């Protein structure tokens, strides 16, 4: 799987079933990228951001209230994490230059990424680990836990692959980390945030239309978490044409909202009952609303100055909710930095030894 160039993909809907928990760490080192920190650490539990560090703030901070529980056991935890992340910032700054030289791409914009973590099935207790490096969105090195070897997708990484494969001591450490240490930390974090991680709220779903010629909006609000989908379907087939899907936006109470528009211009009256709007929450729960003219809320006026059938006031309120959500979403996007967490991982480098830092393995130890 290729690594993406930006951290936005972290907000996507996870593919695993709800009983599969995951702990993921993302490191991004950027070279000559405007308006983006040169180094960012992001970590997630079940795709919820739990800690963030970047080279602008130089502070490791929790991004979920329940992550503060860790200081009850270790009061100096966050300060120590800050120092570790700052050290990794210096290491990655050197490593990105080395990878650029190896690939003969010393100029322009470049990004080096490292992603690792583990998964745990809380029903079967099965665990799995993953670890990979990428350069400019392409895989550079990938760890295979089953064979306990590194895979080099590009020729320039073969040299490092052989060196890391031949270090049997470190390969043993890798296996222990991904089969024992990482899952242990994941289980601890899941316990810390159980009330939030296990929360499932279904939304209220409304049909909204500004004017008779406007697209019909299916609006879902009040759902949690944000790992959800909203779509139109005809009979039992999901529609992709004549459909415009909006982004998931936050509500003031911590829940979320989203909408999807359907172009009604080509819809025949006798086909209305064949269409429905479906909300799907991660884990399989659904809310379906069949298309019915009587359920459409609108605020357009009839020729006599009154409102047509439907909840006019509800339409106005819903429109205001949409506007408020858009404003809140814009504020969040403008103010919210990339977020994350990290386990204690460092490159062993020595500028005085003449050794290539890119050929050094990560040392993984518990945080």
Q: What is the pLDDT of residues 71-120, one digit of tens each?
A: 998 999 999 999 999 999 988 888 778 777 777 777 778 888 999 999 99
What architecture does CATH give domain 204-335? Sandwich (2.60)
- What's the mean pLDDT in 332-360? 34
pLDDT at 109: 84
What does the pLDDT look like over 287-343, one tens digit per residue? 999 999 899 998 775 444 444 444 444 444 444 444 444 444 433 333 333 333 333
Pick the CATH number of 8-196+337-365 from 3.20.20.80, 1.10.150.120, 3.30.500.10, 3.40.50.1240: 3.30.500.10
The long-range contacts involving 93-100, CB below 8 angstroms and separated by at least 24 positions, are 93/29, 93/38, 93/39, 94/349, 94/351, 94/357, 95/29, 95/347, 95/357, 95/358, 96/29, 96/30, 96/31, 97/31, 98/356, 98/357, 98/358, 99/135, 99/140, 99/358, 100/31
The yes-or-no answer to whether 8-196+337-365 and 204-335 have a common fold is no
Considering 130-139, 181-190, 195-204, 356-365, the range whose residues carry the highest mean pLDDT is 181-190
The pTM of the full predicted model, rounded to 2 decimals, is 0.62
pLDDT at 184: 96
pLDDT at 219: 97
- What's the mean pLDDT in 10-14? 37
pLDDT at 319: 45
- What's the mean pLDDT in 188-202? 89
What is the residue extent of each domain of the chain? Answer: 8-196+337-365, 204-335
How would residue 18 be classed by pLDDT, with cut points 50, 70 and 90? very low
């Amino acid at each position: 799987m290729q690594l993406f160039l930006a951290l936005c993909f972290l907000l996507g809907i996870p593919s695993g079933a709800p009983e599969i928990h995951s702990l993921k760490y993302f490191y991004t080192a950027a070279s000559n990228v405007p308006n983006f920190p040169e180094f960012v650490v992001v970590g997630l539990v079940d795709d919820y951001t739990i800690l963030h560090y970047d080279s602008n703030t130089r502070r490791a901070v929790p991004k979920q209230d329940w992550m503060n529980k860790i200081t009850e056991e270790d009061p100096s935890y966050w300060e120590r994490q800050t120092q570790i992340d700052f050290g990794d910032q210096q290491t990655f700054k050197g490593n990105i230059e080395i990878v650029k030289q190896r690939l003969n791409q010393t100029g322009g914009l470049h990004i080096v990424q490292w992603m690792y973590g583990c998964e745990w099935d809380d029903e079967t207790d099965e665990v799995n680990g993953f670890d990979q490096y990428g350069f400019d969105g392409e895989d550079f090195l990938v760890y295979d836990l089953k064979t306990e070897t590194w895979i080099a997708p590009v020729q320039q990484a073969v040299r490092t692959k052989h060196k890391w494969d031949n270090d049997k001591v470190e390969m043993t450490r890798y296996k222990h980390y991904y089969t024992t240490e990482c899952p242990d930390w994941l289980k601890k974090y899941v316990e810390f945030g159980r009330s939030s991680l296990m929360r499932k709220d279904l939304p209220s779903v409304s049909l909204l239309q500004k004017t008779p010629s406007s697209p019909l909006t299916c609006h879902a609000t009040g759902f949690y978490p944000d790992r959800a989908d909203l779509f139109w379907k005809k009979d039992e087939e999901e529609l992709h044409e004549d459909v415009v899907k909006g982004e998931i936006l936050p509500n003031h109470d911590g829940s979320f909202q989203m909408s999807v528009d359907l172009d009604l211009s080509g819809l025949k009256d006798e086909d209305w009952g064949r269409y429905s709007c479906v909300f799907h929450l991660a884990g399989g729960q659904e809310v379906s609303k069949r298309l019915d003219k009587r359920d459409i809320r609108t605020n357009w006026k009839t020729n006599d100055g009154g409102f047509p059938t439907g909840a006019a006031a509800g339409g106005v309120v819903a429109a205001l909710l949409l506007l408020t959500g858009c404003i809140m979403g814009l504020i969040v996007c403008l103010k919210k930095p990339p977020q994350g967490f990290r386990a204690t991982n460092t490159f062993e480098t020595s500028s005085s030894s003449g050794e290539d830092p890119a050929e050094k393995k990560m040392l993984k130890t518990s945080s």
